[in-house]
Amino acid sequence: MSVRPLEPSRPNPGSPLGESLAVRSWSVLGRTISLPVEVRRAAQWGVQYLVPLDAAQRIVSPTGLEATGPIPGRALVALAVCRYDDTDLDPYHEVAVSFVVRPHDAPAPASAAQRTLEFATGAIGAYIHRLPVDQEFTCVAGRDIWGFPKWVTSIDIDEPSTVRPRAGSATSVRLVDDGVHVLTLSIAAGGRIPLPSRAPPSYSFADGVLRRTTWTTSSQEATGRFGGATLTLGDHPMADELRSLGLPRRALFSSSAAHMRASFDGAEVVTPRR
């Protein structure tokens, strides 16, 4: 199964996408998946960039949400990579492009000071804009259950051979879609850091409908550093879209977690206040 990245996400015929949180089990390719969906063992890497707010808002606008960031005039965009080893959706690799956004029910308009306060207090969400994966089952489940913009690609993750990576050792991720190079991302390990256990709600936008998903996460053996990432973009439409954001050469921050667990509840349909 191959889903083109710049097409709208579509549910399988007969799937109950868009129903309420009362739906607690789903039929996916002949298997029953119950909520919450559990991730028991995974590893993750993340890179954050500050980009012009107008460039980010141009991409986010169709959802009705507002892009935001820690400083006026700048939005925060993140590239995240996950290696899922033990989950209810089977093992798979995933690359995410997301934007930090104001909550769908946040009052508008907001001053620069209000946006900064929201960011500092964690009153934010994450709009999941692109979510390529490398396995069909998680692709179908993600689109049907949460409206996530998944499609099947090739994702190679080359990790340091040591059990405990030294600061500076790098993990390389290569994303290829239908033979076309999308991106290669190299993420260097940093010093040990605590990662927050509170996860901001995620938003998806499919078929003109905005959905909000709550989830929890916990991480161990996390590292982080300012900068620490090298991004090479290919000739794919997703790469062109990332270029349009005016990504700086230097990342704001990069992080990793050798051990991650998570639990995903169902999605609820929401309406932006704006």
Residue 66 lies in a domain: yes
In this structure, are residues 149 and 207 in contact, taking their beta carbons and an 8 Å threshold?
no
- pLDDT, residue 120, reads 83
Range of the structural domain that residue 88 is part of: 31-153+190-227+237-263
Does some domain include residue 92? yes
Q: What is the pTM of this model?
A: 0.89
Q: What is the pLDDT of residue 23?
A: 78
pLDDT tens for 180-216 read 999 999 999 899 888 777 789 999 999 999 999 999 9
The dihedral sign for the CA sequence 177, 180, 183, 189 = positive
Does residue 181 lie in a domain region? no
Query: What's the pLDDT band for 274 if we cut at 50, 70, 90?
Result: low
pLDDT tens-digit profile of 68-79? Answer: 999 999 999 999
Answer yes or no: is 177 within a domain: no
pLDDT exceeds cutoff 80 at 20: no
> Do residues 74 and 66 make contact, with C-beta atoms less than 8 angstroms apart?
no
Cβ atoms of 68 and 119 closer than 8 Å:
yes
Whose CA is closest to 238, among 136, 103, 80, 132?
132
pLDDT at 59: 98
pLDDT in tens, 138-166: 999 999 999 999 999 999 999 987 555 56
Instruction: Indicate which CATH number applies to the domain containing 116.
Output: 2.40.400.10
User: What pLDDT does residue 163 have?
Assistant: 57
How many folded domains does the chain comprise?
1
Which residue type occupies 156? D
Q: Looking at residue 250, what is its pLDDT? A: 96
C-alpha 96/C-alpha 76 separation (Å) is: 14
- Domain contains 113: yes
Q: What percent of the chain has pLDDT over 70?
A: 89
272 assigned to some structural domain? no
Residue 77 domain-assigned? yes
Q: What is the pLDDT of residue 21?
A: 61
Structure token pair of residue 271: 């309406």
- The answer to whether residue 20 is domain-embedded is no
pLDDT of 15 higher than 90: no
22: pLDDT confidence band, cut at 50, 70 and 90?
low
